Chains A and B, each alone.
Chain A
Amino acid sequence: MLLISRQDRERLGLSQALEACRCLTPQGKRMKLKYRYYGPDEKELLEAELSAVDRLAEYTKHHPLEIRQALGHLSRFRDLRGSLAGLSKARTLDLTELFEIKEAVRLLHQLLKIPVLLARADVLIKPLPEAEALLDPRKMESSGFYLYDEYSARLAGLRQARKKVEIKLESAGGEERSRLLEERSQLLTEENEEERQVRANLSGQLAPYADRLSENLDAAGQLDFRLAKAQLAIRWAASKPDLLEAGATLILEQFYHPVIEAHLSARGAAYERQTVTLAQGTSVLTGANMGGKSVALKAMALSVVLIHLGYFPPCAYAASPLFGFVSYSSDYFDTTKRGLSTFAAEIVKIRDDIRQARHMPGLVILDEPLRGTNPQEATALVRALCRLYAAFPGVLVVATHYEVPAEEGIRHLRLRGIEPGELEEIISGTGDPQSDEEAVRRIESLMDYSIEAVDGSASIPADAIRIAGWLGLDKGVFELLEGEGGGADGRAQT
């Protein structure tokens, strides 16, 4: 059961991340787009899926030749739903449709010649010798198709007769020519009628195999999809995740968000991979502004969602219990469509999550909830939420600037951020940044994005004023900050 909204999925960058999972067959592409979610009661099925992907990833590393062959065949599969439905409804197929079916049967035959691959993929393709024989009466094993003379002695005879007339036509003139043209035209009419009959017969003879062919095409799609997952796993250097019992602690080692990493690397910035463990109950993530909380939450959610979709997540190692749903909410709410205020939309989402989380283990990720609300009330609400989830069977991860005390079932995680003193060093040591981009880059270079568990409650980080100063916020603002915890030069008074 996939309980993640389309909006959440987009914000997560799920479909973007999965652009790198390239299916070749229309059947495989359709499977990918279904986003099949494996829930807590489907652990065995998911284990089987992941194991198949794991075996394929191993096979891919050691048998590049066979993989190239298989991919070559897979890339030629077409969508045959229309033709197969036609066969089942006793429609007479046209020449190109018959060609398509022959091609599919031939490609399936080719895949059957790589049995090890099919076994690794846990995919069953059933041979279709009868259909093969029907479409290849000459046993040429060629890829082309036409209405062979073998289908009908009458058709063969008509073609022969026409050929003779055409040869005579080459040198005939006058009345003789007119007579021959007339004869040719008559023969062609009969030939067309006979061809139609042959197609009708052939379609009728193929009809009983339509279902099996359809199943085989689905199997080829399954192979394609699993191979694409395996190749994605290799590309992400991801390993097979361990599926844990309900209530066990979720572990993501060196996890990352591939889309954000690619984006950063395109502008020359590095992405620091992170490690986190999330036990049942509530985890409160704190960290400085610009400290990477949002990215960490997004990458965490992405990895967990991917596991539930049967992919290897972009981590060095992952172990996770299965959640009935994953909910991810960033601070951004597009409320214009539903006509709700930002606050109302947020509350509705939180309400729905709680309803789900009460009776099934879910992973709920909230990125700075209630940030636009009166801080006192918001703090109270966030604390209450944390307490509520502490007793639920699933996991709540919440990034917040509101202070949440540690207690039973509420743990604190901190993004390390900037070491005390380092920011002062660059502020005093180097000149003013040339551009906003440069200022951001220098701050990023100082940030330590690693996540650490904190005993008790984490102190609320107080780098915001210093960073605002470095980003060139008007000095007038800082002058007015006197006595409010800020200095005139933007340095925090600690």
Chain B
Amino acid sequence: MAEDRAVRLIEALDLDRLASLAIMGLGKNAGKTTVLNHLIRTCAKAGLPRVLALTSVGRDGEDQDLVTGGMKPRIYVREGTLIATAAGSVGKSDAVLEILALTGIRTATGEVAVARARSNGYLELAGPSIARDLALCETFFRREEADCLYIIDGALDRKSQAGGGLTEAVVLVAGMANAASIEELAEKTAVQAELLKLPSLAEEERQEIEAAMEGKAGARAAIRDIRGEVRLMEMPSLAGHGKEVAQGLAPGDRILFLRGAVTERFVEDLLSNKHFRQMTLAAEDGTRYFIGGRTLARLKQQGVKLEVIHPLILPMVFVNPARGGGSQVDARELVKAVSTAVDVPVMDTGPALV
């Protein structure tokens, strides 16, 4: 039975075909690492012939589990798995690790090493924190195993300056730790799922904007007007420059592309300019929108369309019934509530899966 379930999950997630997958949490302690552990076991149970290649998005030394007081969750890897983790974590691993390469990527706990597990065992993943380095890890992995399934535990946070399209697909983990009630969690999940599934800009628009931004590291915003002309705005980061970008919008502008985190505050600033109405707002990918349901509704009300440069596949939402402090909500009720709110399959992260 367990094998059947595992095979079905592999199929649902398309894990025998996907090149890469990110696991994104709705908030802190959503249960991302639990999902990663589930996926690893699932692949083993189903006999997936592909090698898994794992890393996590680091938090630049700010250990997220210290913030909430929980213990840093470890993952249990199988022999043969590839990992990218900081040298500081290598020594703490239960699994026998074969170091394959040192990446030159520096983190607070040492240089990121690419290794292969030579035995099963627990380990801690502490990967890079910026997009370019996450892409570099994938390059190292593919050098070892061209057909590996690259899985990133986590998504770029709002402080990340740039990065999108790091993975082909993303699964969303919504935990009861992220909301006060089942209803609230369902609502928040629906908003996040909608953002993750945002469609791509039209091919021509996407190409023009990408061409205009190419090689311009300081360009954070690109505005395409009705004649198809693209102008760029340079600034150190999007954060704190919402008004500046809003003031840069003129009648006839059609698309505003933002490279970086699109936050509530930024969107508020944009909405203060009437020229922003009816425009299309685009981000690198769905994980780069950090906005809630009310802001999303206001954007729709103003006729603003949301799109992305790199569309993502969202094959599944995982829900985690564990609240902080050890209590749980009813898993079936939770799955049901979230299922009615989103139009992708919803699964419980609980022990039933394995």
A and B pair up:
yes
Interface of A toward B, CB cutoff 8 Å? 78, 94-96, 99-100, 143-147, 159, 162-163, 166, 188
Chain A residues whose CB sits within 8 angstroms of the CB of B96 once the complex forms: 146-147, 159
Residue B116 lies at the interface, judged by CB distance under 8 Å to chain A: yes
- Cβ of B87: which chain A residues have Cβ within 8 Å of it? 94, 96
Is there a chain A Cβ closer than 8 Å to B263's Cβ?
A: no
Chain B residues 16 to 40 lying within 8 A of chain A, measured CB to CB, are none
Q: A163 to B118, alpha carbons, bound, how many Å? A: 11
Select one of B97, B110, B113, B120 contacting A163, CB under 8 A: B120
B60 to chain A, nearest CB (A): 21
Residue of A nearest to B144 (CB): A144
Chain B residue at minimum C-beta to C-beta distance from A98: B99
B2 to chain A, nearest CB (A): 11
**A144-B116, A146-B118 in contact; A96/B98 too (CB < 8 A)?**
no
B100 within 8 A of A: yes
Residues of A within 8 A of B70 (CB): none
Q: Please, how many angstroms separate the alpha-carbon atoms of A68 and B291 in the complex? A: 49
Q: Given the complex of chains A and B, what is the CA–CA distance between A65 and B118 in angstroms?
A: 35
A162 to chain B: which residues have CB within 8 Å? 119
Q: Does B225 contact A (CB under 8 A)?
A: no
Instruction: Return the 6 tightest CB-CB contacts between A and B, nearest first.
Output: A146-B98, A99-B99, A144-B98, A144-B100, A96-B87, A145-B99
| Chain B residues within 8 Å of A, Cβ to Cβ | 87, 90-91, 94, 96-102, 110-111, 113, 116, 118-120
**By the criterion CB–CB under 8 Å, are A146 and B102 in contact?**
no
C-alpha gap A159/B120 in the complex (Å): 10
> Contact check: which of A78, A143, A146, A188 meets B97 at CB < 8 Å?
A146
5 contacts between A and B (CB under 8 A): A96-B110, A99-B113, A145-B99, A147-B96, A166-B120
Find out whether the CB atom of B102 lies under 8 angstroms from the CB atom of A78: yes
Complex Cα–Cα for A144 and B118 (A)? 11
B3: min CB distance to chain A, Å: 13
For the complex formed, measure the closest distance between the CB of B99 and the CB atoms of chain A, giving whole angstroms.
Answer: 4
Instruction: Return B106 CB to nearest CB of chain A, in Å.
Output: 13
Residues of A within 8 A of B90 (CB): 94-96
Q: Could you tell me if A99 and B102 are in contact, using CB atoms closer than 8 angstroms?
A: yes
Contacts beyond the supplied A94-B91, A145-B99, A146-B118: 7 A-B pairs with Cβ under 8 Å: A95-B91, A95-B97, A96-B99, A99-B113, A143-B101, A144-B98, A147-B96
Given A144-B99, A144-B100, A146-B99, A188-B94 contact (CB < 8 Å): yes
Residues of chain B with a CB closer than 8 A to A146's CB: 96-99, 118
Chain A proximity of B251: nearest CB distance (Å) = 35
Which of B100, B102, B118 sits near A100, CB closer than 8 Å? Answer: B102
By beta carbon, the residue of chain A nearest B100 is: A144
CB distance from A137 to the nearest CB of B (A): 13
CB contacts (< 8 Å) of B110 on chain A: these are 96
Contact of A95 among B94, B99, B101, B111 (CB under 8 A): B99
Could you say which residues of chain B place their CB within 8 Å of the CB of A94?
Answer: 87, 90-91
B102 touching A145 by the CB < 8 A rule? no
For B116, list chain A residues within 8 Å (CB): 144
Chain B residue nearest to A155 (CB atoms) is: B96
CA distance A343 to B116 in the complex (A): 67
Q: Whole-angstrom distance from the CB of A357 to the nearest CB of chain B?
A: 47
Within 8 Å by CB of A159, from B97, B98, B119, lies: B119
Beta-carbon contact of A96 and B100 below 8 Å: no
Residues of B within 8 A of A144 (CB): 98-100, 116
A147 surroundings in chain B (CB, below 8 A):
96
When distances are taken between beta carbons in the complex, the residues of chain B under 8 Å from A159 are: 96, 119
Closest residue on chain A to residue B45 by CB atoms: A170
Inter-chain CA distance A24–B87, complex, in Å, is: 24
Tell me the minimal C-beta distance from B79 to chain A in angstroms: 9
Q: Give Cα A94–Cα B90 distance, bound, in whole angstroms.
A: 10
Chain B: minimal CB distance from A389 (Å): 50
Whole-angstrom distance from the CB of B307 to the nearest CB of chain A?
38
B339 CB → nearest A CB, Å: 31
CA distance A147 to B118 in the complex (A): 10
What is the distance, in angstroms, from B102's C-beta to the closest C-beta of chain A? Answer: 6
